[in-house]
Amino acid sequence: MTITANQVKELRERTGAGMMECKKALTENSGDMDAAIEWLRKQGLAKADKKADRVTAEGRIALAQEGGKAVLVEINSETDFVAKDENFVGFCETAAKAALAAGATDVESLKAAKLASGETVEEARSALIQKVGENVQIRRMASIDSANTVAAYVHGGRIGVLVEVKGGDADLARGLAMHIAAMNPPYVRASDVPADFVAKEKEIELAKMSDKDKAKPADILDKIISGKIAKIVNEVTLYGQPYVLDTNQTVEAAVKAAGADVVGFTRLVVGEGIEKVVENYAAEVMKQAGLA
C-alpha cells in the first residue's frame, strides 16, 4: 500500500522517531498507526506516543478556591486571539467563581449557576459569543471539597491541577501541584499502574533485547526486565519521579519526609483530546483550480 506524507508526519509527531524509520514502520505494518508505534518502540526507536501532549484547541483553564474547596473549569474558544481577549478571560474567571459558590460538580450545574448580575453562566456565555464573534464552549470542570490539604494551580492559563494531600501543609501541596503540572504523571503510586500496561511494557522491553541477552539464564533475564520495568513505572508515577523543586529526591521521599500522603489529583490541559482541523488554503485553491 502507499504510505502518505501525512501518515509519516503524524507518526513522527507521535513518537519523535526519524522520517525514514516512520515510513518503514508504517510500511511494515500496512499503514496501521498504532501497530507502527509499537513496532518503533520494539526497535528502540521511540519511547512513547506523544500525541496526548499536543494541545490542539484554544481556550483557558480558570480556577477558584476557598480552603479545601476548589474548582477548575476549561472553557474553549475557536482562536488563541479570543482566548486572550479580556472579555473571554473575565468570563472564565467569573464562571470558576460561580462554580465554587454554587457547589457545581459538572458542566450542566455550572451553566445553571447564577452570577451576581442575576443571569446564569449559560446566559453569560451566549452574550459573550455575540461580543467576541466566536463559538465559546464550557467543556469540562473538576472540583474537590475536602477536609485535607488542597492545592489548586494553573500554569499560563493552559494547564490546571487540583491535588489533595493528607497531612503536610499548603506549601507542600502547592509544590506537588506545580510538579504535576510540569511532569504530567498518569498515576500516583506504583500500585495504581494497570497490570496490562506493565505486561505490554515487559513485552516491548523483551523485544528490544539482543539475542545474547535473551539467552541469559531465566533468573538473570527476569532481573534485567524487572529493573527496566521499575524505571518505567517510576517515570509514570508521581511518587517515582524526581521532585521538580528538589531533584535530589523523589516526590515520594519529599512527601514522606513531611509526614504526608497524596490522596489524589486531577490535571486538565486546554484542548487535550481534541483534534483541531488545520485548513491548508493554498492546497484547497490549487485543488479547485485543477492544479493538484
Give me the pLDDT at residue 38, please. Answer: 87
Nearest-angstrom CA–CA distance, 92 and 73: 8
Helix count and strand count (H, E) for the chain: 13, 8
- The secondary element (H helix, E strand) that includes residue 248 is strand 246-250
Q: Name the pLDDT band for 20 (thresholds 50, 70, 90).
A: confident
In this prediction, residue 273 has a pLDDT band, given cuts at 50, 70 and 90, of confident
What's this model's pTM, rounded to 2 decimal places?
A: 0.76
Residue 13 burial class via C-beta count within 10 angstroms: exposed 0-12, middle 13-18, buried 19 and up: middle
Q: Among 94, 98, 126, which residue's Cα sits nearest to residue 112?
A: 98
| Other CB atoms within 10 Å distance of the CB of residue 254 | 21
SS3 67: coil
- Domains identified in the chain and CATH numbers: 1-54 (1.10.8.10), 56-145 (3.30.479.20)
pLDDT tens for residues 71-114?
999 999 988 999 999 999 999 999 999 999 999 999 999 999 99
Q: pLDDT band at 56, cuts 50/70/90? A: very low
* Phi/psi at 103 (5° precision): 70, 30
b or e along 17-40 (b: 16 or more beta carbons within 10 Å of the residue's beta carbon)? beeebbbbbbeebeeebeebbbbb
Q: Please give the Cα distance from 6 to 10 (Å, whole number).
A: 6
* Three-state DSSP class for residue 105: coil
Which of 225, 202, 203 has its CA nearest to residue 213?
225
